[in-house]
Structure formats: C-alpha cells, structure tokens
Structure 1
Amino acid sequence: MMPDAERELAPPEPLDLGATLAFLRRGRGDPTLHTAAGPDAWREVWRAQRTPEGCASLRLTVLDGPPTAARRLHLAAWGPGAAWSLAHAPQLLGDGDDWSGLDALLAQRTVEGDPAAAALHRLRRRTRGLRLTRSHLVLEAAVAAVLEQKVTGVEARRAWRQLVRQHGERAPGPAPEGLTVMPDGVGWRSIPDHDWHRAGVGPQRMATIRRVAAVEPALQRTLALGRGGPAAVAALRSIPGVGEWTAAEVLQRSHGDPDTLSVGDAHLPHVIGTWFTGVRVDDAGMLDLLAPYAGHRHRVVRLITSLGVEAPRFGAKATIEDHRGR
C-alpha cells in the first residue's frame, strides 16, 4: 500500500536510532512501537501515533549506515495523521537537540582535571548518535508516566500494553500485526472502571489519567513553552495527581527537555550516585552531583543510563501486586 506521505531525511550527524527512540518504548511488548528481531532490529521501526490530526503509522527505515549511526532514512506514514507525523519526524529523531553546550562544558572540566567530567566526555564520544527525542505528543507521554507512578516497571508496562490493545485501534496502512494506536483523550476517559482494575491500575492513577485526558488540548499548548523548564513543569503540575516526577518524565519525552530531572524516582539517584561515587545516594545527593551540569542534567542522565548502569540492590524487592482477579 502506497504511503499517504513520505520523505527522506539526512540527519546533520549520524543518528543512533535505537538509543534515541527506545526512550519512548514501554517495554518490549509495547503495542505502539515495533522493531524486527535480531541484531539489526532498529534498521526498520514502526511507530503508531495518536496525533492532533488523527491516528497514523510511521515507518522509519535506515537507508545508509548502521542503525547505530544512520546517515540517511526513509520515512513513510499512513492515516489521517500522516502529514503531521512526517512534519514532526525530524524532532522525533532529535533534530534541534543541541549538545554543543554540554560538549564544551565537559571539555573545559576535563582540562581542569575533573575525573567525572573526563569519564562523561569519553562516554559522549562513544555515544555521538544519541539524541533527545521530542515527540510533540504530550498526552501519550503523560498517560504512560502516570501508569508508572509508584509501581514496578513490570506492572506499568503490563497496564500500558493491556489498555492500549483493548481500547486503542489498529494502526493504519500495512503496519505489522498488533501495532496499535493508543486511545484519544475521550477514549481514555471512557475506559470503564473494571478494565482499569483488570489492568492492575488503582483508583488514584485511573482518576489522574482521566483528569489528564480531559485537558488534552491544554497539554499540547505547553509545547509552545519550549523544551521544558519551570513554566512547563508548573503547567503540568497544576493537574491534580501530576507531581514533580511525572512532570519530568513527560517533558523529557514530549518536549525533549534537556535538564529537568525525575526527582522521586526509586532507582535513578542510586544509579547516578553509583556512577559518580560508587555509592548510592538520595535525591538531594543526585541533585548535588548533577549541579555542575545545570541546563544539561537530563542529557548527563541519558549518557549514564545508556551504559545500562545499575545500582547495587539491597533489601527486599518491591512486591508486584495483582488486583486483576479481585
């Protein structure tokens, strides 16, 4: 089937497609994003999108270079949101994400003898293809973030997968089997209580998602505030149930925020502390360690987490509660 819109894209620098877009994927079973199996999995990526102009399937295919350093891509889209998807695809792939300020800061601090900055500088050279994505889809990022509030990743990914498959719609065009467009704002608000319950989502998160979905147009307007910052954080936090952590998780994905941190995360401070000092820290310790990189703190976090660094684990694991049969 011929696409409704298509174009080629040549990023100004080689692009690591997987490292960039994996930040939007909610687990390997995410019904809104599909890649092939195997070592070349990210050579072709399908993404189902609920755009302001309607649903769309977006296919991104690497034409030149490996998926870790793509130099040219073919983009094709189907559905009412096809033209919107192609218009915003460059920023989805990191166009406008300027790392030059952080590069200069790391170089300066390396010359000054800062060992942490020197290590980050070396890491940055090895991950030049990493970009901060800007999806422009605020409701998508917000619903997924609320589902992750105060539960394990396994629970959140299961809920996202189940609710999108049950209440979304098949992605348009010749999309792979199972690729699904998430519900729109009305759709999220219309999900009956028992389906939230079966997906393991309690009343508080359910109510927050309904509140978020009710102001979908206002969410989109926050994109006019730029790539994040205090005004965008305040706008999101004005919605009851959306706190500092949730606002940061949204802005990092939909706005491409290079600085706002996920304060309140159960694991991130330990990961950052372990990388910088070898020991776990709390939120205050994480903020202290990242303070020299103000303006680029989320970029630094992405560099460190791209290594797959994990903090040493102590104590009991969080219990996964299953409410679906109750």
Structure 2
Amino acid sequence: MTITASAPAALSAEWELHEPYALLPSVGPLQCGPHDPTVIFRDGAAWLAFRNDDGAATLRLSQRGGLRSSSVHATAWGPGASLALASVPQLAGLVDDWSGFDSPAFAAALPELARKGRYLQPGLRLPATGRMLDAVVRVILEQKVTGLEAKRAWRYLVTRFGDPAPAAPGAPRELRLPPTAAQWRRVPSWEWHRAGVDSKRSATALRAAGVASGLERLAGLDAAGVHAGLCSIPGIGVWTAAEVLQRTHGCPDSISVGDFHLAAFVGAALTGERTDDAGMLELLKPWAGQRQRVVRMLYASGFRKQAYGPRLSPEDHRRR
C-alpha cells in the first residue's frame, strides 16, 4: 500500500492485488438499499461517509484492472481521512481470507450450488467495517419488517438527522454521515413514527445509542464476545447479532437464525425442500466455521426458492 497527498484536503492510497477480487459486490452488503445516503455506488465507484476516532470522513473506492490482477484505489477527505484509509483493507474485504474455503478438499465437499456460486463470483469477499453503532441501528430497523420498510426508515432518519459528509470533489450531493449516538438519542418520537419505525424498534435503537461507547468496544472482540455483548441489550437477539457481525466483523460463520426467508432458502437449495432454523443449522453443520460463506455462494449461484402465497406486505406504522 502507498499513501499520497493528492490534494491539500485529501489522502489517497492504492492496493495492488494479484488474485480474484471484485470491489462492488464485496462492499455491496454495506449499502442499505439503492438510496442509502451513507453508501452510494456511482460510475463504478463506491462513496462512503462515516466517523472514526479522528472525526468524519468521506471515502471513495474504485477498482482498476481485471478480475485476477487489479488495484483498489481509495481517496479520503475530512478529519478522519487517515484512519479511513487505514480501515480500507478490512472494510473492502481485501484481507478476507478464502484460502480454506477454496482449498481442494473443502471445495470438493461443498454442495454443487455453492461451487457454482464461487465459480460465478471468485472475487467476492466479506467486508468488515468495525463500526458497531451504525450497524446495530441499521439492523434494528430491519427487525420483523420488509426490506422496503427498513430501507425507507434508514434513508429518512439519516437524511433528517445525519450531518453532511465532508466535502469532496465529485462526491454525490446526497452523501451523509450516519447520526452519532447523541443525534440518535435526540430523534423525537414523532420522527421515528414518520420514518415508519414502531415503538419497540425505536426503543431498542435508543437503548443501543445509550450504550454506544460499550458497543464500540465490542469491535475488538471475537464473534462469541460480540454476540454475547449485543444480546445483553434488551430488544437485540440472535438474528440481530448475526446480521451485525456479518457487517462489522466479516464473520465467515455468522448465520441469521430467525430470518424470515433464510432457512427456507437454504433448505430448498440443499435438499429441494424448505426447512426451519434447526433444519438449516443441521444442513450447514458440515461447513461449520464457513457457513456464512456457503450461504453467500448459494445466493451467488442464482438459485431462488419457489415462492408460495402472497409476499409479506409493508405495514404503515405512521397511521397508528
């Protein structure tokens, strides 16, 4: 990695890669829908806004070259620019190690669909932001609602209560920083209501914001420690903890038990029949330690389970 000052208010770094890597699919899970104001994909680049110990940062990531030999270029602006650049290898999944998954012995034991997914997405990596509060609030908003509802709520609250991202040439005008813990705590009850967030989820988000400093310390723990710490907060259970771990730690084994769709999807992909959470965990047991990677490859294969009955409809909590 080399770091240079590309302009008085910017720092740049570049990482040379000589193995398969795909930037946008790897950082894609960090975006909460196509209208997320904190993560925006535009013209082949990823723009991100966040805070670290030094302050706010705007980060632009782009990839040059081919799939198997390329470079990832990062430019950061704002008081947190230096730490933002230092976080790129983890944030973009550049240090995510798939060697065990890709070993001949392990690969041979994978289900056919997972092998197909890895063939189609050889450059996919798992990102790890290390930023706990941002991930926790986002996932709380996703509890027991449709994805459409959760994405709308996140967009509304960030746009309404987050700060503008540090100025950067060419940055999307709508790019914003997620609210700080103090800003989350100041969101009035009626604004949660306008965002379509029910009182249970808003109360959980406020509890998380109230222990934000403790949450951020979880970033340095292993998956078991993070899971235990998160589940000690009322309103946060195993599903929320797993979803957070996937984003903050790039956990290769984190499985979202309790997800509305996941168990049925895994069962249909591996056996042709739907199953429940217990059945999903039993099916994935041979790949313990790599279960999240297996699930990601099942999705990457293009397999989709058969749909039965009507889809879950969004609820309008604003009229309650």
TM, length-normalised to structure 1:
0.90
Unaligned 5+ runs, structure 2: 1-6
Q: How many angstroms apart in 1 are the aligned matches of 2:260 and 2:188?
A: 30
Please name the residue that 2:276 is paired with.
Answer: 282
Q: How many angstroms apart in 1 are the aligned matches of 2:129 and 2:304?
A: 27
Please name the residue that 1:93 is paired with.
Answer: 92
Matched position secondary structure for 1:180: coil
Deviation (angstroms), 1:280: 1.2
Residue deviations 1:213-269, cap 9 Å, x none? Answer: 11222112112213x2x2221111111111000000001100111102100000011
**Aligned partner of 1:189 among 185, 188, 195:** 185
Q: How many angstroms apart in 2 are the aligned matches of 1:60 and 1:89?
A: 9
**Aligned partner of 2:204 among 198, 205, 208:** 208
Q: How many angstroms apart in 2 are the aligned matches of 1:11 and 1:93?
A: 13
Work out whether 1:133 is the aligned partner of 2:139. Answer: no
Deviation (angstroms), 1:286: 0.8
Please name the residue that 2:232 is paired with.
Answer: 238
Please name the residue that 2:167 is paired with.
Answer: 173
Q: How many angstroms apart in 1 are the aligned matches of 2:69 and 2:182?
A: 38
Q: Which amino acid aligns with 2:76?
A: A
**Aligned partner of 2:295 among 293, 301, 304:** 301
Please name the residue that 2:58 is paired with.
Answer: 57
**Residues 299 and 110 from structure 1, CA distance in 2 versus in 1: closer, same or farther, beyond 3 angstroms?**
closer
Deviation (angstroms), 1:2: 4.7
Q: How many angstroms apart in 2 are the aligned matches of 1:139 and 1:258?
A: 21
Q: How many angstroms apart in 1 are the aligned matches of 2:193 and 2:228?
A: 30
Unaligned 5+ runs, structure 1: none
Decide whether the 8 Å contact of 2:162 with 2:178 is kept in 1: yes
Instruction: Tell me how large the CA RMSD over aligned residues is.
Output: 1.8
Q: Which amino acid aligns with 1:108?
A: A
**Residues 309 and 143 from structure 1, CA distance in 2 versus in 1: closer, same or farther, beyond 3 angstroms?**
farther
Decide whether the 8 Å contact of 2:113 with 2:297 is kept in 1: no
**Residues 84 and 159 from structure 1, CA distance in 2 versus in 1: closer, same or farther, beyond 3 angstroms?**
same
More deviation, 94-103/256-265: 94-103
Aligned residues: 312
Residue deviations 1:55-108, cap 9 Å, x none? Answer: 21100122323xx6671122111112111110111111113311122223xx32
Q: How many angstroms apart in 2 are the aligned matches of 1:251 and 1:109?
A: 24
Decide whether the 8 Å contact of 2:137 with 2:205 is kept in 1: yes
Pairing 1:218-297 to 2, within 5 Å after superposition: 218-226=214-222, 228=223, 230-297=224-291
Matched position secondary structure for 1:48: strand
Deviation (angstroms), 1:169: 1.1
Matched position secondary structure for 1:62: strand
Decide whether the 8 Å contact of 1:49 with 1:182 is kept in 2: yes
Please name the residue that 2:4 is paired with.
Answer: none
**Residues 187 and 281 from structure 1, CA distance in 2 versus in 1: closer, same or farther, beyond 3 angstroms?**
same
Pairing 1:30-69 to 2, within 5 Å after superposition: 30-36=36-42, 41=43, 43-65=44-66
Q: Which amino acid aligns with 2:283?
A: L
Matched position secondary structure for 1:47: strand
Please name the residue that 1:26 is paired with.
Answer: 32
Matched position secondary structure for 1:249: helix
Matched position secondary structure for 1:169: coil
Decide whether the 8 Å contact of 1:51 with 1:81 is kept in 2: yes
**Residues 208 and 70 from structure 1, CA distance in 2 versus in 1: closer, same or farther, beyond 3 angstroms?**
farther
More deviation, 5-14/156-165: 5-14
Q: How many angstroms apart in 1 are the aligned matches of 2:70 and 2:317?
A: 47
Matched position secondary structure for 1:275: helix
Pairing 1:138-157 to 2, within 5 Å after superposition: 138-157=132-151
More deviation, 180-189/90-99: 90-99
Q: How many angstroms apart in 1 are the aligned matches of 2:205 and 2:257?
A: 20
Q: How many angstroms apart in 2 are the aligned matches of 1:137 and 1:302?
A: 22
TM, length-normalised to structure 2:
0.92
**Residues 5 and 319 from structure 1, CA distance in 2 versus in 1: closer, same or farther, beyond 3 angstroms?**
same
Q: How many angstroms apart in 1 are the aligned matches of 2:116 and 2:317?
A: 46
Q: How many angstroms apart in 2 are the aligned matches of 1:162 and 1:255?
A: 26
Decide whether the 8 Å contact of 1:110 with 1:118 is kept in 2: no
Residue deviations 1:104-133, cap 9 Å, x none? Answer: 3xx32665xx5x534423432332210010
Deviation (angstroms), 1:209: 0.5
Q: How many angstroms apart in 2 are the aligned matches of 1:239 and 1:212?
A: 7
Identity of aligned residues (%): 44
Matched position secondary structure for 1:324: helix
Deviation (angstroms), 1:50: 2.5
